[in-house]
């Protein structure tokens, strides 16, 4: 079961939301650190998009999805006007920074590396389609949600 966090706990985990990793259509993502030193990603969600019941159903569905090629949900927050998801942190960063690299300081992948990534991501997507016991619609498969 994922851990339920209070807003004040998320505030502490993220060091006052000081390390922003990105922002998307569903909210802002921050890097955090749990008391035992494990790094996490805290995705603060826009509450106007769903009700409390919808959010808790989403948490229950995501909690049942476990695959080596998919990030794990570690916890959530549903308090007042705050909805957040806490995921494991992937130290290599998001895949989009490698695939979409255009600047000199970005690391650009060669075709063999791209092929290897495609072969690694395929089992995770196949799991969602064929093996996952939860029937879900996965609109959020995009490069920065893939593990490398």
Please say if 112 is a catalytic residue.
no
Which alpha helices (DSSP H) does 64-110 contain, by range? Answer: 96-99
DSSP 3-state of 41: strand
Beta-strand relationship, 3-4 and 73-79: parallel
Give the residues across from 73 on adjacent strands. 87
Joined together, the tokens standing for residue 131 give 């093996």
Q: How far is CA 90 from CA 38, 53, 95, 130, in A?
A: 11, 29, 10, 25
The tokens 């290897």 sit on which residue?
116
Could you tell me which of 104, 105, 96, 145 has the C-alpha nearest to residue 125?
145
Q: Which one of the listed residues 19, 112, 130, 140 is annotated catalytic?
A: 140
Active-site positions read 140
């Amino acid at each position: 079961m994922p851990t339920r966090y209070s807003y004040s706990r998320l505030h502490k985990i993220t060091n006052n939301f000081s390390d922003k990793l990105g922002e998307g259509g569903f909210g802002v993502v921050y890097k955090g650190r749990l008391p035992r030193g494990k790094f996490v990603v805290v995705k603060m969600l826009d509450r106007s998009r769903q009700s409390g019941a919808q959010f808790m159903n989403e948490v229950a569905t995501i909690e049942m999805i476990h695959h080596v090629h998919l990030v794990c949900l570690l916890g959530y927050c549903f308090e007042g006007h705050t909805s957040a998801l806490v995921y494991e942190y992937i130290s290599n960063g998001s895949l989009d920074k490698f695939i979409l690299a255009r600047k000199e300081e970005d690391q650009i992948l060669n075709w063999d590396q791209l092929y290897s990534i495609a072969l690694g991501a395929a089992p995770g997507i196949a799991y969602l389609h064929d093996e996952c016991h939860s029937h879900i619609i996965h609109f959020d498969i995009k490069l920065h949600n893939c593990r490398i």
